Amino acid sequence: MQKAIEHIMHALFLICACVSILAVVLICVYLFATGVPAMSEIGFTDFLFGQKWKPSSGYYGIFPMIIGSILVTGIAVLIGVPIGILCAVFMSHYCPAGLYRFVKPAVNLLAGIPSIVYGFFGLMVIVPIMKSIFGGSGKSLLTAGILLGIMILPTVIKTTEASLNAVPKSYYEGALALGATHERSVFFASLPAAKSGILAAIILGVGRAIGETMAVILVAGNQTILPENITSGVRTMTSNIVIEMGYATGLHRDALIATAVVLFVFILIINLCFSVLKRRKD
């Protein structure tokens, strides 16, 4: 009876794994089967490096959206990753038990807030602050980066804290025994030992930032031009797809799907780069 149950569960797990793989394969096949011919019709160079996006006039250049996505994600990582890692260090090694009971649920709640709520927060709070400081509409590259930096915090915090808690206590205790202070033991013994988990946190944070749509639409300005500075309005690739897919037809629709292909490849390249970096460090 026990062996029969094990065989059944083994088959069930295998089916679930195959379904997951099949879903990924089907998505890739659909995206590339629709997007690559559209890129070929437009011209790969004109599509990837063209600076005009005017479908009504036959211009399908997504270079401004590519740069916008990179810059917004970069600002979000610069803001969210250091704060998230330091917050995780505090929760793992410094936070009193009484305070931890409130901080941990607050981080979990931050992770569960819908992106549209973050967008309204950015629109009602961050945008007016940016407007009062820099002028203009307040909707800009910097505003979107700050908002995304806040949004990736729970992902970075939770993953980094779990990695720090998984580090054997002997690392920390050994550093103390050698005469290191509490701070040096944490930052030069425990933290480096958790580098794999921290890299995973950064990858998840980058994926969350570059794939975010609704919140960015509300605060980024949605201008299909190359940003001149951090206060310029931008449009990301995801925003471009969501804004125009509802009414796009023909080549315009296929070009939006091709934009999704570029985004897919972009995220794949980021993951591969982090994997190579992790292997070199190991």
b/e burial code for range 89-127 (CB count within 10 A of at least 16 → b) = bbbbbebeeeeeeeeeeebeebeeeebeebbebbbeebb
Give a yes or no: residue 72 inside a domain. Answer: yes
* Residue found under tokens 């958790």: 194
User: What is the C-alpha separation between 188 and 12, in angstroms, rounded?
Assistant: 44
Give a yes or no: residue 46 inside a domain. Answer: no
* Residue found under tokens 């203009």: 136
Give a yes or no: residue 199 inside a domain. Answer: yes
Q: How does pLDDT run across 39-52, given as a tens digit for each residue?
A: 888 888 889 898 88
Q: Does the pTM of the predicted model rise above 0.85?
A: yes
Give a yes or no: residue 28 inside a domain. Answer: no
Give a yes or no: residue 85 inside a domain. Answer: yes
Contact 239, 155 (CB under 8 A): no
pLDDT the model gives residue 86: 94
Distance, CA of 208 to chain centre: 3
pLDDT score of 282 more than 70: no
Q: How many CB atoms lie within 10 A of CB 165?
A: 15
Give a yes or no: residue 15 inside a domain. Answer: no
What's the CATH code of the domain at 228? Answer: 1.10.3720.10
Token digits of residue 140: 């800009």
Give the bridge partners for 53, in sequence order: 60
How many residues make up the chain in this entry?
282
pLDDT the model gives residue 34: 85
In sequence order, which ranges of 113-249 are alpha helices (DSSP H)?
115-121, 127-134, 141-151, 153-166, 169-177, 182-185, 191-193, 195-211, 214-219, 237-245
Q: How many CB atoms lie within 10 A of CB 135?
A: 9
Range of the domain at 233: 64-241
Q: What percent of the chain has pLDDT over 70?
A: 98
Angle between helices 63-89 and 153-166 (to 10 degrees): 40
Q: How does pLDDT run across 103-147, given as a tens digit for each residue?
A: 999 998 988 888 899 999 999 999 999 999 888 888 989 999 999
Per the structure, the count of domains in the chain is 1
Contact 69, 237 (CB under 8 A): yes
Give a yes or no: residue 34 inside a domain. Answer: no
Q: DSSP state, 263?
A: H
Contact 38, 255 (CB under 8 A): yes
Q: How does pLDDT run across 240-253, given as a tens digit for each residue?
A: 898 888 888 888 99
Give a yes or no: residue 7 inside a domain. Answer: no
- Residues contacting residue 93 through CB under 8 Å, at least 6 positions apart: 164, 172, 182, 186, 190
